Amino acid sequence: MLKDISSYDGIYLACGVTDLRHSVDGLAIIVKQQFRMDVFGNYLFLFCNRRRNRLKGLSWDKNGFVLYYKRLDGDGARFKWPNDPQDVRNISLEQLKLLMNGLSIDPPKGFGEVKSRDFY
């Protein structure tokens, strides 16, 4: 039986590009060595390919790993994936929903506050 997504203690994105030819062991090594996180914890780890049209998810479920895979079809269908390759981000369930619907997980930036300026 698949786990309810809201039951995870954390949802983590491996920002940047991941070679999705990796399967369970390769992705687990990335989690453990590169991000120094517990791959056996109650977490969902998400990875995206260079073209941003494929996603893999990895989680531990009591006695084995679960590997999720999603491939977007359609011209120009791409995930709005964060770019920093050294970063792992903890996201909320709401941010995951945005991501899966083709939207950015980061809120748009509005105008910044102006403290002072010179008049010419």
Question: Would residue 65 count as lying in a domain?
Answer: yes
Burial (CB count within 10 angstroms: exposed 0-12, middle 13-18, buried 19+), residue 64: exposed
The pLDDT of residue 11 is 96
pLDDT band of residue 1 (cuts 50, 70, 90) is low
In the chain, the number of structural domains is 1
Question: Would residue 114 count as lying in a domain?
Answer: no
Write out the residue range of the structural domain in which residue 35 sits.
Answer: 10-101
Percent of the chain residues past pLDDT 90, beyond the cut = 68
Question: Would residue 3 count as lying in a domain?
Answer: no
- For residue 71, give both structure tokens: 């491939």
In 1-120, DSSP assigns E strands to 10-14, 43-48, 54-60, 65-71, 88-91
Question: Would residue 118 count as lying in a domain?
Answer: no
Q: Is the pLDDT of residue 95 over 90?
A: yes
Q: Which residue has the tokens 């929903």?
A: 97
Question: Would residue 4 count as lying in a domain?
Answer: no
Q: What is the mean pLDDT of residues 90-110?
A: 89
Question: Would residue 40 count as lying in a domain?
Answer: yes
Whole-structure pTM value: 0.85
